[in-house]
Structure 1
Amino acid sequence: MRDSMTTDVHLALDLVLTVRHDGDGGVVDDLAEPGGLTGWVRAHPEVLAGAERYVADVDGLAGVRDLRTAVRTLFAHAVRPAEPSPADAARLLPLPEALRRLNDAARTPTVPVLEWPDGHGPVVRRRPVPDGGPDLTAVLAQAAIAFLAGPDRERLRACHAPRCVRYFLKEHPRQEWCKPSCGNRARVARHHERRRRSG
């Protein structure tokens, strides 16, 4: 299970990165079908207890995809005034709708629990309903909220290399792209554009 801010950051980014370029100018959705979500959850055992046994259904997939759309909209908002990922430019939700979807998905039923530490008075705390914890969509939404409200949000960028649709965390001041291969593609594209203009 998740237990740290670092996990929240990676989980939120990994969810968003299930939309990626296919290398030929198109976009691939790793969550296009329930089997894609099943594989994604099993590859991320920190998401849920029993992730190795998780099997997605159509409703669960729809919930995660709706959440991902909201999170990608909020990532696009977070990188402003820079441009969002090209995959999002025409598909962004209105900000209030994205926030509503994220917050609704993050809800987890809780129950009051009485604690009475030695030397202190009784305290009521809320804990998740004891049925195995929150569902997948709630876990992912809570990770996205923790990331968006945390300090790493300031390092979030959209990669604008040709054909890339990824978001990434800027690791050093000169970093402009999500990975070296995107930097190479961007330099080659700029070189070709300069030659075209001068020729």
Structure 2
Amino acid sequence: MSQRLALALAATIRHDGNGGVADDLADLAGLAAWLRAEADPLREDVGVTGLDPATVDEPTRLDVLAVRRATRSLFAVAVRPGPPSRADATTLLPPEQAVTRLNEAAAAVPVHPVLDWPDGAAPTVTWRGTGGDARSRLTAGLARAALAFLTGPGRERLRACAAPRCVRYFVADSARQHWCRPSCGNRARVARHYRRHNP
């Protein structure tokens, strides 16, 4: 599902465990590892095929970073009036520029619907890109996943995690959910307790 892929791309910026921010796509090895981990959603959800993570180059990494920056910029818009992720404070694109960047990336490779209807199962439609090089197919697929998420029902439940040091975006299961994971909720409660007892 595009929601999973869009959130996975945004989550490549994360808390590093030491109070800072880590970027899983900071180098080619990180991008290759992420592409291997996301191979199934890339292939099944947005039709990215024929991409060998071992052969990704720096221009591909920079294109993926540009799509991620645009995606996180629009995630920051989607969570309003709440605050954006702390990791994005100085890197947000203006919304119109982020929209243009995603639209241009998505348009780089033409797509067409493909029907799959296995015996005894419900029919599904997936989108397949045709033409273009591997880099264009990848960035177009990631941009399409972000566009599908931002125009789908998950956008209304998108939140920036409110826990100290966490920089993730997540889709809330309920209106009362403020943290992406139970560990973030525990960290927030401990920080609140500490502030109350140590003014």
SS of the aligned residue for 1:87 comes to helix
Cα distance in 2, alignment partners of residues 85 and 100 from structure 1: 22
Q: Residue 33 of structure 2 is aligned with which of 32, 39, 49?
A: 39
Where structure 2 has 5 or more consecutive residues not aligned to the other structure, the ranges are 43-47, 113-127
Aligned to 1:172: 174
* TM-score (ref. length: structure 2): 0.82
From the CA coordinates, give the structure whose radius of gyration is larger: 1
Counterpart contact for 2:33–2:53, Cα < 8 Å? no
Structure 2 counterparts to residues 143-162 of structure 1, below 5 A: 143-162=145-164
Where structure 1 has 5 or more consecutive residues not aligned to the other structure, the ranges are 1-6, 113-126
Cα distance in 2, alignment partners of residues 195 and 97 from structure 1: 45
SS of the aligned residue for 1:168 comes to strand
SS of the aligned residue for 1:135 comes to helix
Counterpart contact for 1:167–1:178, Cα < 8 Å? yes
Distance 1:186 1:109, change over 3 A: closer
Deviation at 1:131, TM superposition (A): 6.1
Counterpart contact for 2:105–2:140, Cα < 8 Å? yes
Counterpart contact for 2:109–2:140, Cα < 8 Å? no
Please list every run of at least 4 consecutive aligned residues from structure 1 whose deviation after the TM superposition is greater than 3 angstroms: 50-54, 108-112, 127-134
* TM-score (ref. length: structure 1): 0.82
Structure 2 counterparts to residues 18-97 of structure 1, below 5 A: 18-46=12-40, 47=42, 48-51=48-51, 55-97=55-97
Aligned to 1:136: 138
Q: CA RMSD in A?
A: 2.1
